[in-house]
Amino acid sequence: MRELISLFLAVLSLATFQVLGQETQQPAQTTFTVEFPGRHAFRRGEADASLQIQVKADKPDIQGAKLSFTGQDGLADFNGELTFANGVARLAIPLRTNLLPGAYPCSCTVTAETQGAAISETSKLELHIGPQLDGAGLIRFFWMLGFYYYDEVRDAGFSHILRKIGDYNDKSNDLFASAIPRRLAAMDQMLADGVTFLESFQFSRSPGLTARFPRLKRDGTKVTDNMDTGHPELRPLISEAARRNAAQVGDHPAFGGLLTASEVRDASCPSFTDYNARAFKQATGLDVPQDATGRTAPHYSRLDNFPYGLIIPLDYPLLQFYSWFWKTGDGWNDFQSLVSDAFHRTLKQPIFTFYDPSVRVPPLYGSGGGVDYLNQWTYVYPEPFNISYVISEQQAMARGREGQGVITMLQGISYRSVLAPKEQKVANPPAWLEERPNTVYMTTPPDLLREGLWATFSRQLDGIGVFAWRAFFDAAPYGVDPKAADYQFTNPEAIKVVSDLLHSIAIPFGPLFRTVPERAPEIAVLESYASTFFAGRGTWGWQGQVYDLGTMLVGAGFSPYVLYEEVAAKGIPETIQVIVAPHCDVLTAPTYEALKQFQLRGGILVADDFLTPALLPDLTLPSFARKQQGMVDKLAMQDAARQLKTALAAYYRQYADTDNQDIFAHVRTYKDADYLFVINDKREFGDYIGQWGRVLERGVPNQGLVTVNRSVGAVYDLVRHCAVPFELADGKTSLKTAFDTNDGKIFLLTSRPLSPLAAETPKTIARGEAFDLLATSPDTDVIVPISLEIILADGLRLDNSGAGIVKDGEFTRRILIP
């Protein structure tokens, strides 16, 4: 079969799916019961696929029983004898899966003789072939699906959907068993639609286990909402429950991953038991310090004989205790590892595990244990680009475990108490206020989601998620009271914005976004776990002065790298020229020594007035305060950024900058190629929440000049698929940008224009055969985004179509012809 193959950027469309019930033609007196247990959906090209059939005979004198099974387009063609054992016959019918995705009607006929009379029974059902998935693009996940809006989430462009189907059963330690039929139906539908099923493991929420294995405070009182996962008797229960739960999933190809636990460390605290005391002593040789009581140490000012200069040695007992507690002692990191390992060992299909919120902890390696991906959610206000700094924190945490990846999540819900407080009366109230007056969590403003997504696209990670429980789709028709104090659907435009960006940006550029690395760091934010423990500092992934200053650095175009003390102590990366050290009251001795050496080699230390007195900063870090007034707060942040840029001008030259404070840039680099992300942050008050004056929620047009500190030979606008004009002067490249709203752009900068691509394909391909498509380019020092369109002779688009990248001059993809 001749194949028409073209290379250009395009969007992958998903097949639709409708579950059809089984129809059975039966005689008046039933002789057989024909059942089709197991799944009814299969992956295109799936090897050794089979349909399970079970036939039950209600008469003992059945003779010569045979079964015939046929499927449309040769999906199945089987004829065979039935052998009954205890009145039941079981068969596995081989299926030919190298067909086009879609629904395939099938017929199953059982014939036999009983008491000299011929009997026959026919059953009809529909099987489904789902599309092949290449897995090279971004994971686009919807965190927790409500039962009523699956179709909308699928069509919005999400590739993975998280569901909580099973409830934990304390008596049997069995999470999934009661939900097997519901899970199977959901996975069949998702497989047919080309969507991957994710499940949330609920073992960590077991009331029975929390009561059985409680944490104990210093005074012996029990912590009622967080189990003691460090208990030695609990560990085997965790592993066994995870193993059994994985076994119940089986080999279903739609099952793609597991959320091992969520929000379990907010209530975690030291458990003062004999076994934890023994574990700490075995790890350190020390007894638990008497001053250890809560989640962090007492403030250093309340500790006797705290080290001079607020520089503490690594063997300081309280430091050792809290380092041990957050890495190992509270048990949750090991919990994630045990669950992840059990699922990976048990299941044969490729899956991934993840944990969230991964950086709602002190800045210390180990959060999430051995999961494959660290996830964190961010409320993208008051600055929607704040998520970029959160991703920097996630990247810092993931550097502590080789091979661990990062996915991140935007909150499609927002705290009404922050954006539009109920107690504050406003003129010209929006329509949603009358319709849903008691809203607690409202829909995040659409333009904040747009800019937040662009800030996320600019960073190297493996996936992007959204949580929008009842916020993207109206639950009122399904019984949720719009007047209830609950999550509410207050803005129908939000899902449209998210869907548009998933289809137009995340899908076609997904492989590029996932592959292009971050630039070597030049400006770093030092996040100190010692100051978190002893001075009450830290961002905990979402708040505080360190968080605000990190966000300010993003908006100023500094692309901050988060530097953990554990990294600094081993040697500050040579490429770092500036270290910003907010709220570093207390430092470990190795970090202190590393910072001294950093300054001696010419590095610039920028710090606030809280820096340990043992160090003298080169520059003072400008500060700003929030007043919960949108424009006032933005101008204060921009003023601090302007002061810092001015102070650094004599010491540091930004790689990319703009002439407009409402436009910022972030660059990622691969060999000769720079990938320049430019984002417009110009916003104003709108008519959705603007009446409250707290957050600038509506994007407005803007324009500016972007300058990159290198000479180039070509610049391409990747979204518009065209070359763009630029100017060269003094070794710098400048280009003009213009925006209609607060969105983003992606430019590819190279030393020379890109060469044409060449594609190699066979001239003829027989039906059912596969071949390797090869696209090549002489440009071996750049990554070029492409899309592959495979159009069959009858005009149908094959599921092997989609986004890809030409990396180091080569792109390959295995193509299966139906």
Q: Where are the domains of the chain?
A: 4-10+755-816, 139-515, 523-528+546-557+575-645, 656-750
Tokens read off for 763: 């001239």
The rounded distance, in Å, linking the Cα atoms of 662 and 801 is: 38
Q: What pLDDT is attached to residue 631? A: 98
What is the bridge-based pairing of β-strands 377-378 and 405-411? parallel
Whether the predicted pLDDT of 446 surpasses 50: yes
| Contact call for residues 780 and 808 (beta carbons, < 8 A) | yes
405: left (phi over 0), alpha (psi -120 to 50) or beta: beta
Per-residue CA distances from 656 to 418, 514, 528, 603 (Å):
33, 21, 28, 20
- CATH number of the domain at 139-515, please? 3.20.20.80
Query: CB-hemisphere CA count at 13 Å for 441?
Result: 13
One-character DSSP codes across 168-225: -BTTTTBSSGGGHHHHHHHHHHHHHHT-EEEEE--GGG-HHHHHHSEEE-TTSPEEEE
The rounded distance, in Å, linking the Cα atoms of 492 and 344 is: 39
CB atoms within 10 A of CB 331: 28
Tokens read off for 783: 């990554």
Q: What pLDDT is attached to residue 18? A: 35
Question: To the nearest whole number, what is the mean pLDDT of the chain?
Answer: 93
Q: Is the peptide bond before 27 cis (omega within 30 degrees of 0)?
A: no
CA angle (792 as vertex; 788, 794 as ends), nearest 5: 145
Q: What pLDDT is attached to residue 62? A: 84
One-character DSSP codes across 232-283: TTHHHHHHHHHHHHHHHHTT-TTEEEEEEEES-SSS------HHHHHHHHHH
Within 8 A by CB and 6+ apart from 743, the residues are: 450, 451, 454, 679, 680, 699
Whether the predicted pLDDT of 731 surpasses 70: yes
The rounded distance, in Å, linking the Cα atoms of 715 and 736 is: 11
Whether the predicted pLDDT of 452 surpasses 60: yes
CB atoms within 10 A of CB 810: 12
User: In this structure, which amino acid lies at residue 270?
Assistant: P
Q: What pLDDT is attached to residue 164? A: 80
| Contact call for residues 414 and 447 (beta carbons, < 8 A) | no
Q: What pLDDT is attached to residue 8? A: 26
What is the bridge-based pairing of β-strands 578-581 and 523-527? parallel
The rounded distance, in Å, linking the Cα atoms of 742 and 450 is: 7
User: In this structure, which amino acid lies at residue 351?
Assistant: I
One-character DSSP codes across 27-73: -SS--EEEE--S-SEEETT-TT-EEEEEEEES-TT-EEEEEEEEEGG
The secondary element (H helix, E strand) that includes residue 150 is helix 150-156
| Contact call for residues 130 and 119 (beta carbons, < 8 A) | no
**Quick one: pLDDT band at residue 117, thresholds 50, 70, 90?**
confident
Average pLDDT over residues 163-179: 53
Q: What pLDDT is attached to residue 177? A: 53
| Contact call for residues 461 and 408 (beta carbons, < 8 A) | yes
Within 8 A by CB and 6+ apart from 185, the residues are: 19
Contacts 24+ apart (CB under 8 A), 175-178: 175/201, 175/202, 175/203, 175/241, 175/245, 176/244, 176/245, 176/248, 176/249, 177/248
What is the bridge-based pairing of β-strands 214-216 and 139-142? unpaired
Over residues 29-86, the pLDDT tens digits come to 557 899 999 999 999 999 999 999 999 998 778 889 999 999 999 999 999 999 999 9
CA angle (778 as vertex; 774, 784 as ends), nearest 5: 70
Tokens read off for 746: 């992606």
Q: Above pLDDT 70, what percent of the chain?
A: 94
Listed in sequence order, the DSSP H helices in 609-694 are: 630-648
Partners of 130 in the beta sheet?
43
The rounded distance, in Å, linking the Cα atoms of 593 and 596 is: 5
Q: What pLDDT is attached to residue 265? A: 96
Average pLDDT over residues 390-402: 99
Whether the predicted pLDDT of 175 surpasses 50: no
Name the DSSP class of 329: I
Q: What pLDDT is attached to residue 780? A: 97
Over residues 261-272, the pLDDT tens digits come to 999 999 999 999
Whether the predicted pLDDT of 564 surpasses 80: yes
Whether the predicted pLDDT of 25 surpasses 70: no
| Contact call for residues 529 and 318 (beta carbons, < 8 A) | no
CA 556 to chain CA centroid, Å, is: 26
Over residues 599-614, the pLDDT tens digits come to 999 999 999 999 999 9
The rounded distance, in Å, linking the Cα atoms of 18 and 626 is: 51
| Contact call for residues 343 and 246 (beta carbons, < 8 A) | yes
- CATH number of the domain at 656-750, please? 2.60.40.1180
Tokens read off for 309: 């200069």
The rounded distance, in Å, linking the Cα atoms of 625 and 634 is: 10
Query: Which 3 state secondary structure label does DSSP give 803?
Result: strand
The rounded distance, in Å, linking the Cα atoms of 320 and 333 is: 17
User: In this structure, which amino acid lies at residue 524?
Assistant: A
**Quick one: pLDDT band at residue 165, thresholds 50, 70, 90?**
low
Start-to-end CA span in the chain (Å): 10
**Quick one: pLDDT band at residue 27, thresholds 50, 70, 90?**
very low
User: In this structure, which amino acid lies at residue 396?
Assistant: A
Q: Above pLDDT 90, what percent of the chain?
A: 87
Closest-CA residue to 464 (of 550, 380, 560): 380
| Contact call for residues 762 and 1 (beta carbons, < 8 A) | no
Q: What pLDDT is attached to residue 166? A: 55
Which residue bears the tokens 């605290």? 269
CB atoms within 10 A of CB 769: 13
Instruction: Read off φ and ψ for residue 668, nearest 5 degrees.
Output: -115, 150
* Cα-based torsion angle of the residue sequence 101, 104, 110, 111 in order, rounded to the nearest 10 degrees: -120
Confidence (pTM): 0.94
CB atoms within 10 A of CB 545: 18
Whether the predicted pLDDT of 170 surpasses 90: no
The rounded distance, in Å, linking the Cα atoms of 72 and 49 is: 16
Query: Which 3 state secondary structure label does DSSP give 340?
Result: helix
Whether the predicted pLDDT of 145 surpasses 80: yes
Over residues 209-227, the pLDDT tens digits come to 999 999 999 999 999 999 9
What is the maximum alpha-carbon separation in the chain? 102
Over residues 410-426, the pLDDT tens digits come to 999 999 999 999 999 99
